[in-house]
Structure 1
Amino acid sequence: MKNIHLIWGVIIPLGLLLSSSIRPTARQSSGAWMQLINGKDMSGWKASENKETWSVTPEGYLQAVGKRSHLFYEGEYLNGAFKNFEFEAQVRTFKLANSGIYFHTKYQESGWPGQGIEIQVNNSHIGEGDYIELKRMGSLYGVRNVYKTFAKDDEWITVKARVENDRVQIWVNEIKTVDYIQSERRMAGIKKLSSGTFCLQGHDPNSKMQYRSFKVRRLPDAASSNLAPLTYAPWQDTLLKYQGQQFAFIDLNPRTSLSPQDLAKYVYSTGINVALLKNPKTAKELSEAKKLPLFTGIKVNADNLANLKANTADYIIGESTGIESARTLLNSKKINVWSDKGQDLNTDQADELLDLAKQNNVAIEIDNVSKTPSLAVLRKAKAKGCKFTFAGLVPADKLSQSLYVVEAIRGAKLSYKDQYVPKW
């Protein structure tokens, strides 16, 4: 049984979920690569609404700077529509820029595309007005969201995707960020894979984006992942609902013995973002996450806090076992997240500790398994302006037994803006 993996009652071969190459097998291979950007003009592309947003730079790049406009491919290689395919795009984002690559879409003159699915192209966009954007480069927008940035602004980034009927895989600079298998049933708010053309997004006047290459080749219409469709558990439906309200489900304190590769499979299959977590002595092992879609964290306590070296992790989490260790950690200026294992937030010292967390910009962990802190404490922390993180979301059986994180969201009236996301 060591060559299979069980997800929500579906048996899936292990090797398929972690395949990191975009090259198809001989059986799947289809037509030659087609370059959709000619480096001279916008031939084959049709802009919507604010057409002046799009231009061609002297170097031959397609560039978006201006009001919302979408650039749809309608050139000679379309030949009706693209269904199964792989593409490779070279994109460059500039500070605060937001864009997207849509597939299975069709031309519309105004508004956000109503047909198709978007691959997020965004390293540093923070949102507009009251809206805060947390989703990052390589997300399958609203379906499999990625909250860690794996690329940098002002650099050319390679975005690859492969679509085979019921499966979508996405890579950002060779890191596979998404491996999604579509459910057989229709999910509220999630569009079904179909067929159509490609579209590049010009998002807003502050979003300067450039595309210098967009290569695509078709795969046979009969191409298939040969993987069983996902069977969604009731808890997954609930998380999808709240994901639609922009909540980022990230386990920054996974208490599991899963390998980095198995953690990555969990991210792919559930959409829950996960961290590889080590202590100060084993921090070098965080390098195992280098090519995986994982946050990296270091867990400390009051006793080993002094052993913390130069920080190369995405965040530091402090775990206390009593009031004095809680004070030490919260006052240390070294931690980003506080895990209250001593449950001192259930004592008379709760107000003092919450004030320390707020003063020192330390987020409070909500543990889905131990169901702590209590809703009363969370309401108090919310009123003080504290931030929050989640734990106890790995593995899936923990979510089958408890959805306290959702109770916390409802009971304390939390919003996605109350969440802490590392290095955001």
Structure 2
Amino acid sequence: MPTSEISRRAFVASLAAASQLSAADDGWLPLFDGSSLKGWKASENKGTWKVVDGLLSNDGGRSHLFYEGPVKGADFRNFELEAEVMTKPGCNSGVYFHSTYQETGFPQKGFEVQVNNTATGEGSYRERKKTGSLYGVRNVYKQFVPDNEWFKLHISVRMKNVQVRLNGMLVVDYNEPNPPVIAEGSERGRFLDHGTFALQGHDPGSHAMYKSIRVRPLSDELPTTKIAYPPPDQTFVDIINYGAHNIPMVDFHVHLKLGLTLEQALQKSRQDGIMYGIAVNCGKGFPVQDDATARQFVESLKGQPVFVAMQAEGREWTQMFSSKTAALFDYVFTDSMTWTDNRGRRMRTWLPDEVGTIADPQEFMDTLVDRAVGIIDKEPVDIYVNPTFLPDAIAKDYASLWTEERMKKVVAALARNGVAMEINNRYKLPSALFVQMAKAAGVKFTMGTNNTGPADLLRCEYGLQIIKECKLGWQDFFVPGASGPKAVERKPNALKA
């Protein structure tokens, strides 16, 4: 071997040694040497895993690559784990922790942190849980990192707390209750314990690459052991169960009002296990009245783990905003709480003083239904919110005023336009009968709060009740980006040029 080549290899080796020493100095220890599978053991289709150009690559049949190397005896309880990851389009992968080697199948012990940007599922199943999800426990429903680009995945476990970050953005902050909640039908080993790490090769169509895999072991005893987490209530259990069964645990109708800050909302979102869609009121007389201000709102939420929503107010909004601006939002929603009656009066039905007494409830209802159908048919919206709302003056007669014929007209409009119906927590709407009729017609649903501030930002309890009462499944729910083109793409000419 030429002397120059010997010198070059010695220099590279010295750099690698210096890098490992530096890592050890701050507690970080490499798990992958960049050149071999040393310290790792693949299950079943072992040829799925290769080292290519210094990268740990999976491309082939289902196989899980378990760490069995010398660091901490491959047994970790509390730790920080980092890896740089790149996915190819359609890739489904993941990182397991607190796991143990098994020769076949998906790991039965431990938790998976999902790596899935654009994989849609197999057969009739549609996967909604995106990269960063603590799979089936705390789910992320929006894609935050692209395929074909490196991103940093950071996982930390401190006793009963799990945090997941994507490029530094905190997307999961889960505190396991006592006793742990394990979703119905899930593996029995889905609770915080100890064990090793595993990387997932999901299927022949999934190709992911990993590099810079390193761990910082933490003490088995941390101050968090003194934190007493309350036992889970039924709502906590329902959120886990429905989320594990692919029903999106998302509140698509959250407002930052009456002092509710974004950070407070994010903290509650992570605590409750419900992702939020942060909405801004856009229309005549509302905070956002033009394209420039709408774009500013979208920009203000960049890099935040939320959906961004436009609440289209009044009927003038279509001439105030362009389709290009509306398309910047993840989705657009509206209601039929503002319209003009047959006498030319502007009706804001949520304001009792403006509506006053209603002399002819039947005429009012016929007009309301006509306006609602017109809104759904003409306006480019993804979700119809505050559905079936009635003013205080006639709300007590909801069951009799919302006749089968009237319900059918609204349901038919939603179905033919592909508009989802909100199950609203604030007003407890629509009724179970209305939901069942809409479900039979193929209408999709979302859950939403429409909170007035921090005090009534709850946990979509009415939505969870309706899921149970009407036997809704994951197929019955709308998720932006997973349900076809947005409304502004379907009806671009409905907005101003």
- Corresponding residue number in structure 2 for 1:70: 64
Alpha-carbon separation, structure 1, partners of 2:378 and 2:82? 45
How far does residue 79 in structure 1 lie from its aligned partner after superposition? 2.1
Select 1:43's aligned residue among 27, 34, 38.
Answer: 38
Select 1:295's aligned residue among 298, 302, 307.
Answer: 307
Could you give the per-residue CA deviations for residues 228-273 of structure 1, whole angstroms, max 9, x where no partner exists? 4244233222222322322112111125622211110011101011
Q: Is the 8 A contact 2:77 2:195 kept in 1?
A: yes
Once structures 1 and 2 are overlaid, which stretch shifts more, 285-294 or 308-317?
285-294
- Corresponding residue number in structure 2 for 1:248: 248
Question: In the TM superposition, what are the counterparts of 1:282-361 in structure 2 within 5 Å?
Answer: 283=294, 284-301=296-313, 302-309=315-322, 310-311=325-326, 312-321=328-337, 322-332=368-378, 334-341=380-387, 343=389, 346-347=402-403, 348-361=405-418
Question: In the TM superposition, what are the counterparts of 1:136-215 in structure 2 within 5 Å?
Answer: 136-189=130-183, 191-215=190-214
Q: Is the 8 A contact 1:260 1:288 kept in 2?
A: no
From the superposition, tell whether residues 228 and 30 of structure 1 become closer, same or farther in structure 2 (CA, over 3 Å).
farther
How far does residue 131 in structure 1 lie from its aligned partner after superposition? 2.1
Could you give the per-residue CA deviations for residues 62-103 of structure 1, whole angstroms, max 9, x where no partner exists? 111111100001112242511211111111111111111001
Alpha-carbon separation, structure 2, partners of 1:74 and 1:173? 27
Structure 1 length-normalised TM: 0.86
Alpha-carbon separation, structure 1, partners of 2:171 and 2:85? 16
- Corresponding residue number in structure 2 for 1:377: 434
Question: In the TM superposition, what are the counterparts of 1:2-151 in structure 2 within 5 Å?
Answer: 32-57=27-52, 59-151=53-145
Q: What amino acid is the match of 1:351?
A: K
Q: Is the 8 A contact 1:30 1:217 kept in 2?
A: no
Q: Is the 8 A contact 1:159 1:172 kept in 2?
A: yes
Tell me, what secondary structure is at the counterpart of 1:186?
Answer: coil
Could you give the per-residue CA deviations for residues 93-132 of structure 1, whole angstroms, max 9, x where no partner exists? 1111111100111111111111111111111111112322
Alpha-carbon separation, structure 1, partners of 2:450 and 2:58? 39
Q: What amino acid is the match of 1:188?
A: I
Q: Is the 8 A contact 1:183 1:229 kept in 2?
A: yes
Alpha-carbon separation, structure 2, partners of 1:396 and 1:52? 55
How far does residue 397 in structure 1 lie from its aligned partner after superposition? 6.3
- Corresponding residue number in structure 2 for 1:232: 232
Once structures 1 and 2 are overlaid, which stretch shifts more, 161-170 or 317-326?
317-326
Could you give the per-residue CA deviations for residues 246-303 of structure 1, whole angstroms, max 9, x where no partner exists? 2112111125622211110011101011111112315323433323221110100323
Q: Is the 8 A contact 1:30 1:219 kept in 2?
A: no
Alpha-carbon separation, structure 2, partners of 1:187 and 1:318? 36
Alignment pair present for 1:362 and 2:419:
yes
Larger Rg: 2
Alpha-carbon separation, structure 2, partners of 1:341 and 1:104? 45
Q: What amino acid is the match of 1:261?
A: E
Select 2:471's aligned residue among 413, 416, 421.
Answer: 413
How far does residue 391 in structure 1 lie from its aligned partner after superposition? 1.2
Alpha-carbon separation, structure 2, partners of 1:30 and 1:293? 33
Could you give the per-residue CA deviations for residues 298-344 of structure 1, whole angstroms, max 9, x where no partner exists? 10032323222412111101121244542343123521111145538
What count of residue pairs does the alignment treat as equivalent?
A: 394
Alpha-carbon separation, structure 1, partners of 2:90 and 2:262? 31
Aligned-residue CA RMSD (Å): 2.4
* Structure 1: tracts of 5 or more residues without a match: 1-28
Tell me, what secondary structure is at the counterpart of 1:79?
Answer: helix
Once structures 1 and 2 are overlaid, which stretch shifts more, 243-252 or 183-192?
183-192
- Corresponding residue number in structure 2 for 1:275: 277
Alpha-carbon separation, structure 1, partners of 2:208 and 2:74? 28
Q: Is the 8 A contact 1:100 1:118 kept in 2?
A: yes
Structure (1/2) with the larger helix percentage: 2
Q: Is the 8 A contact 2:388 2:429 kept in 1?
A: no
- Corresponding residue number in structure 2 for 1:387: 444
Q: What amino acid is the match of 1:262?
A: Q
Q: Is the 8 A contact 1:357 1:386 kept in 2?
A: yes
Could you give the per-residue CA deviations for residues 362-407 of structure 1, whole angstroms, max 9, x where no partner exists? 111111332222222212211111111011286686758x833233
Q: Is the 8 A contact 1:123 1:137 kept in 2?
A: yes
Structure 2 length-normalised TM: 0.74
Alpha-carbon separation, structure 1, partners of 2:462 and 2:268? 20
- Corresponding residue number in structure 2 for 1:266: 268
Q: What amino acid is the match of 1:182?
A: E
- Corresponding residue number in structure 2 for 1:6: none
Alpha-carbon separation, structure 1, partners of 2:270 and 2:76? 24
Tell me, what secondary structure is at the counterpart of 2:254?
Answer: coil
* Structure 2: tracts of 5 or more residues without a match: 1-23, 283-287, 338-367, 391-400, 483-497
Alpha-carbon separation, structure 1, partners of 2:425 and 2:149? 39
Could you give the per-residue CA deviations for residues 203-241 of structure 1, whole angstroms, max 9, x where no partner exists? 011111111221111112222446442442332222223
How far does residue 353 in structure 1 lie from its aligned partner after superposition? 2.4
Alpha-carbon separation, structure 2, partners of 1:404 and 1:133? 25
Tell me, what secondary structure is at the counterpart of 1:100?
Answer: strand
Q: What amino acid is the match of 1:290?
A: K
Alpha-carbon separation, structure 2, partners of 1:203 and 1:393? 39
How far does residue 356 in structure 1 lie from its aligned partner after superposition? 2.1
Tell me, what secondary structure is at the counterpart of 1:349?
Answer: helix
Tell me, what secondary structure is at the counterpart of 2:239?
Answer: helix
Q: Is the 8 A contact 1:235 1:399 kept in 2?
A: no
